[in-house]
Structure 1
C-alpha cells in the first residue's frame, strides 16, 4: 500500500480578461515601435513605398529640368550657368527646408503648425534688436534659438496640456507672434550689424554656399532622429494612433510638446539663415512659410493625418517647389501663375495620398499603415 497521498492537479493561473480593443491597440503600438528589421522588404509592398515615392519625386525634378531646357535652351547650354543656377535653387530652398524638417515631425506626430513663419519673424526681429546685437553674433544666434524653442514649447503646452486643437492653437500663435514682432521692431526693418551673421549667406565652402551645408546638417540630423532613434519611432506611433501609443507606455502629451519644441527650434535656425540673406529682419519676413513647409511635406509623402512621412521626401518636396519658382523666374512668368501651379500640385499630391492610403487599408485588412 503506497504512502503517497494524491494531490489535486495544479491548474495554470488564469490572467484577467483583456479588452480586445485594448489588445489590438497595444499590438498596433508595438508594431510601430518595433525595429526596422521585421519590416516588409525594401522595394516590394508597403515597405518599398517610400523608395518608390522618392524615385517619383526625382523623376518630377528631371521633368522640370527638361522643361527648363526646352523653354530656355540658351541658358541651359551654358555649363557655368547651370551650376550657378543649381546652387541658387539649393540656397533658395535652404531656409524653407529647415522649417520643413520641423514641420514634418509635427505632421507625422498627428499635428499641424501654422505659426512657423511668425516664429521665424519673431526670432529674427528679437535677435536683431540693438540690445541683442550688443552681445555679438553668439548672442544673436543664442537669442534666435531660444525664442524659437520657447514659442514652440508654448504651442506644445497649449496643445498637449491645454487640450487645444493644433489648428486653433498655432493659428492664434501665428497672429500673436507677428503682432509681438511688429511691436518689438516698431514696424521698422532692423539691420544686422554682425559681419559673421551677414557672411553666412555669402560664404562658400568648396564652391557651395554655407547655407546649403546648414540645410544638409539639419536634414541629416532629422533623418537620424526619425529613423534611428526611439524618439522617431514614438513619433510615428503617436501620429498613427495616439491611444495605442498611450497603452504602449508612451507619454503622448510630453512627446507632442517635444515635437512642437523641435519645430520651434528649426524656426530659430531658419531665422538666423534668413536674417543672413537679407542682412536685416522685420515683422513681415517669412510670410507664408507655413504653407510652403506644409506643401513640401505633403509633396514628399507625409500623411496629413499623421503616422507616416520621410525627411528625404520632404527635402525633395522643398527642392521641387524651389525649382518651380526658379523655372517661372527665368521664363518671366507671373507669381500668380506660379501659385496656381503650386496649388494644383498640392491638390494632386493629396489625391494621390488618398488613393494610396485606401489601397494600403484594403491590403492590410483596414489597419492603418505607418512607416518612418
Structure 2
C-alpha cells in the first residue's frame, strides 16, 4: 500500500505557544500591589485593623476613667483589682458570646441564650441533681444546654423556621420551663465545689477568667483551624454555594446551635457559682449583650465573617463601660442608652466602610475635574 506524503505546513503557520503552558504562580500580594496599598490596606489585614481599633476604644475608656476618677486610677493596686473585676464581670457573657459568634457567622441568630442559661442553671440546682455532686451538676447543665441548642437547630434546619422566630419561641418556652421546675422560687446551690468556682483564684486571677480564656481559645481554634470553622464561614457567606460544594448545610446548622447551647450550659455553671443559686429570671437580656458584643467585634449580621477575638474584645468593652458608669455613679438607664448608641454606630460602620467613603470622594473629584 502506497504512502501519501503530507506536506510540511509548519513554515506557513504562525508561531504558537505550547498547548500546555505552566503559569507561574502570582505573588501573594499581587492583588494588593495593584491598589498600591500593601498588605496593611488589604482584606487579609482587615480583622487585625478592626481588633486594633477595639483596643483603641478600650484605651480611650481607660483614659476617660483616669480623667473622671484620678484618685482611684492613681492607685496601682486598685487598678489591678478593677481590671480583674471587669474580666470577671465579662466572663459569663463572654462564654455565651463565643457560641453566639459561631451562630451569627453561620448566618443565624439565637435569641434564646439567656433563657437556656436560666433553664440549665435551674435544672442543675434541683435537689435531685445536686445529690449527684459537682460532676452531676456540671453534666446536667451541659446536657441541658446542648439539647436545647440542638432543638433550636432542628427546628431551623429541618422545620424550616426562621431563626428569629424559632429562637424567640424557645426563649419563652425555656423561661416557662425553668419557672415550672423551680416553682418560681430561687434554688440555692449547696455544693461548695461549684460555689467556690467564682470565689477561688489561681495566681491571683479568678477561675472564671481562666474558663473564659479556655472557651475563647477553643472557639478560636475551632473557627480558624478546623473544617468545622471553614464550613461555618462558607454557609454564612452563601448557603446555596456551600450546599453545591458538598457541605451538609442543615446538619452544620444543627451543630452550630448545639454549640451555642453548650456554651450556655458552661455559662450556667459560672453564673450559678457567682450567685450560689439559680432562678428562672437569671441571665436576663444576655442575648442582647452577646449579640451586641458580636456586632461590636466586627461580625457581619448577614454572616460569613467574624472573629472570636473581636467578639471577646466587644464583651470587655461593654464590661468596661458598665464599670466606668458604676464608679462614676451614673444610672443604668444612661448606660443602656450609651450601649444602644454604640451598637447603632457599629452597624453603620459595617454598612458604610471608610473605603467606600474614599471611593465616593474620589469619584466626586473626577466628576468635578471633568
Which of these residues, 256, 278, 299, is aligned with residue 275 of structure 2? Answer: 278
Map of 1:15 onto structure 2: none
Are 2:93 and 1:99 equivalent residues in the alignment?
no
Q: Hey, what's the Cα distance between the residues in 2 that align with 1:344 and 1:220?
A: 30
Change (3 A) 1:42 1:221: farther
Which of these residues, 256, 259, 262, is aligned with residue 262 of structure 1? Answer: 259
Q: Hey, what's the Cα distance between the residues in 2 that align with 1:180 and 1:272?
A: 18
The more displaced of 284-293 and 348-357 is: 348-357
Q: Which runs of 5+ in 1 are unaligned?
A: 7-35, 364-372
C-alpha contact 2:88 2:206 (8 A) present in aligned 1: yes
Aligned pairs (5 A) from 1:177-216? 177-216=174-213
Q: Hey, what's the Cα distance between the residues in 1 that align with 2:145 and 2:50?
A: 32
Which of these residues, 141, 151, 172, is aligned with residue 169 of structure 2? Answer: 172
Are 2:236 and 1:239 equivalent residues in the alignment?
yes
C-alpha contact 2:29 2:39 (8 A) present in aligned 1: no
Q: Deviations over 1:22-57 (max 9, x none)?
A: xxxxxxxxxxxxxx9999775331111100000000
TM-score by length of 1: 0.86
Aligned pairs (5 A) from 1:354-365? 354-356=351-353, 359=356
Map of 2:106 onto structure 1: 109
C-alpha contact 1:116 1:267 (8 A) present in aligned 2: yes
Are 2:139 and 1:142 equivalent residues in the alignment?
yes
Map of 1:308 onto structure 2: 305
Q: Hey, what's the Cα distance between the residues in 1 that align with 2:244 and 2:146?
A: 29
Aligned pairs (5 A) from 1:19-30? none
Q: Hey, what's the Cα distance between the residues in 1 that align with 2:265 and 2:66?
A: 37
Q: Deviations over 1:271-317 (max 9, x none)?
A: 00000000000000000000000000000000000000000000000
Q: Secondary structure at the match of 2:282?
A: coil
C-alpha contact 1:159 1:169 (8 A) present in aligned 2: yes
Q: Hey, what's the Cα distance between the residues in 2 that align with 1:213 and 1:357?
A: 36
Map of 1:342 onto structure 2: 339
Change (3 A) 1:64 1:354: same
Map of 1:81 onto structure 2: 78
Count of residue pairs the alignment pairs up: 333
Q: Hey, what's the Cα distance between the residues in 1 that align with 2:185 and 2:64?
A: 41
Deviation at 1:2, TM superposition (A): 3.5
Q: Secondary structure at the match of 2:198?
A: coil
Change (3 A) 1:129 1:46: same
Q: Hey, what's the Cα distance between the residues in 2 that align with 1:332 and 1:69?
A: 15
Q: Hey, what's the Cα distance between the residues in 2 that align with 1:65 and 1:181?
A: 39
C-alpha contact 1:39 1:47 (8 A) present in aligned 2: no
Q: Secondary structure at the match of 2:306?
A: coil
Change (3 A) 1:45 1:101: same
Higher Cα Rg: structure 1 or 2? 2
Q: Hey, what's the Cα distance between the residues in 2 that align with 1:218 and 1:199?
A: 19
C-alpha contact 1:95 1:215 (8 A) present in aligned 2: yes
Which of these residues, 281, 285, 290, is aligned with residue 288 of structure 1? Answer: 285
Q: Hey, what's the Cα distance between the residues in 1 that align with 2:103 and 2:336?
A: 25
Map of 1:353 onto structure 2: 350
Deviation at 1:3, TM superposition (A): 6.9
Deviant stretches of 4+, over 6 Å:
36-41
Are 2:2 and 1:2 equivalent residues in the alignment?
yes
Map of 2:221 onto structure 1: 224
Map of 2:365 onto structure 1: none
C-alpha contact 1:114 1:171 (8 A) present in aligned 2: yes
Q: Which runs of 5+ in 2 are unaligned?
A: 7-27, 33-37, 361-370
